A = this chain, B = another copy of it.
Amino acid sequence: MPPRSFPLSRYLPILRWGREYDRATLGADLLAAVIVTIMLIPQSLAYAMLAGLPPEVGLYASILPLAGYALFGSSRVLAVGPVAVVSLMTASAVGEVAAQGTAGYLVAAAGLALVSGGMLLAMGFLRLGFLANFLSHPVISGFITAAGLLIAAGQVRHILGLPGGGETLPGMLAALAAQLPATDPLTLAMGGGVLGFLYAARRWLKAGLVRMGLPPWPADMAARSAPLVAVAATIALAQGFALGARGVALVGEIPQGLPALGLPALPVELVGALLLPALLISVVGFVESVSVAQTLAARRRQRIDPDQELIGLGAANIAAGLSSAYPVTGGFARSVVNFDAGARSPAAGVFTAGGIALAAMFLTPWLAALPQATLAATIIVAVLSLVDFGAIRRVFAYSRSDFAAMAATILVTLGIGVEAGISAGVVLSLLLHLYRTSRPHTAVVGRVPGTEHYRNIERHPVLTRPEILSLRVDESLYFANSRFLEDRIAALVAGRPEVRHVVLMCPAVNAIDASALESLEEINRRLAEAGIGFHLSEVKGPVMDRLRRGDFLSHLNGRVFLSQHEAVCALSLESGPPAPQPGSSSAGIRDGLSFPAS
Contacts and interface: CB of A to CB of B under 8 A. Distances in A.
8 contacts: A1-B494, A130-B438, A291-B522, A298-B527, A395-B514, A403-B514, A430-B434, A441-B510
Interface stretch (A271-279, A299-307, A579-587, A588-596): A299-307
Interface stretch (A208-216, A218-226, A472-480): A472-480
Nearest to A516: B137
Interface string A303-322: 10010000000000000000
Contacts of A299: 526, 529-530
A210 B527 CA distance: 28
A344 B490 CA distance: 19
Contact of A550 (B135, B398, B515): B398
A450 B490 CA distance: 46
A303 B494 contact: yes
Nearest to A514: B402
Contacts of A518: 137
A298 B474 contact: no
A211 to B, nearest CB: 26
Nearest to A496: B301
B515 A546 contact: no
Interface of A: 1, 130, 132-138, 291, 294-295, 297-299, 301-303, 306, 394-395, 397-399, 401-403, 429-430, 433-436, 438-439, 441, 474-475, 478-484, 486-487, 490-491, 493-495, 497, 508, 510-511, 513-515, 517-519, 522, 525-527, 529-530, 546, 549-551
Contacts of A402: 513-515
A488 to B, nearest CB: 11
Q: Which of A297, A299, A401, A490 gathers most chain B CB within 10 Å?
A: A490
Contact of A301 (B134, B434, B497): B497
Contact of A434 (B130, B291, B487, B522): B130
Contacts of A497: 301
Given A137-B519, A295-B525, 20 more contacts: A1-B494, A1-B495, A130-B438, A130-B484, A133-B438, A133-B481, A133-B483, A137-B514, A291-B522, A294-B487, A294-B522, A298-B490, A298-B526, A301-B494, A303-B491, A394-B551, A398-B549, A430-B430, A433-B513, A508-B510
A424 to B, nearest CB: 15
A487 B302 CA distance: 11
A480 B527 CA distance: 36
